[in-house]
Amino acid sequence: QATVAAARPVRTAQTPPASLRECLVDSFKTHRLRHAQARRRCRKSFSIDAVHRLRVASRRLIACIDLLRAFASPPVRKKDRRAVKKQLDASDALRDAQVQLHAAGGMLAAYPESKGFYRYLQHRQRQLTRVTVESLRRSELAKRLSALERALDAMPGTAETDREDRI
């Protein structure tokens, strides 16, 4: 199982990335692994924190893909960005329901008449969790991002292809 630390090439302060593209590719690998970790965590438990972390990781990955499209455009397609955005959108309603449920839970003691609304929000959260679970299960995002990483590694000017050229 890959970790974020394993995804980063070992560099010291004396050896910065050779190019902007190499720096962006390294950043993509890091964000892809963080996103995968957040996704696994979210699939185990759809807690407020897990959904929040997945959404943050998705946004950061989208930003990284946007930068890659500007500087390393051939292998990076709109489909790659759309796949991440689709997953982000799938968790929108669940996150909203979780935040509302948390806020409503804080008001129960002061406003006992809000108990019906609180129960409705609990039911809504369960429904949206099922929908989000299905969305994560059906997603081919991991395969798409792995393919993108392989394509970026195969590009001339990245560390992996430079090392292969020297051998």
Whether 89 has a pLDDT exceeding 80, the answer reads yes
Estimate the crossing angle of helix 20-44 against helix 115-138, to 10 degrees: 130
| pLDDT (0 to 100) of residue 7 | 53
More confident residue, 165 or 118: 118
Secondary structure element (H or E) that encloses residue 124, with its range: helix 115-138
More confident residue, 1 or 127: 127
Which two structure tokens, joined as six digits, stand for 33?
A: 């692994």
Placement of tokens 């190499």 in the chain: 22
Question: Residues 6 or more apart from 133 whose CB is under 8 A from it?
Answer: 43, 46
Distances (CA, A) of 58 to 15, 112, 156: 29, 38, 27
Residue 55 and residue 46: Cα distance in Å, rounded? 12
pLDDT band at residue 164 using 50, 70 and 90 as cut-offs: very low
> CA angle at residue 15 from 38 to 74, to 5 degrees?
60
pLDDT band at residue 151 using 50, 70 and 90 as cut-offs: confident
Distances (CA, A) of 14 to 10, 34, 161: 11, 26, 21
Whether 160 has a pLDDT exceeding 80, the answer reads no
**How much is the pTM?**
0.78
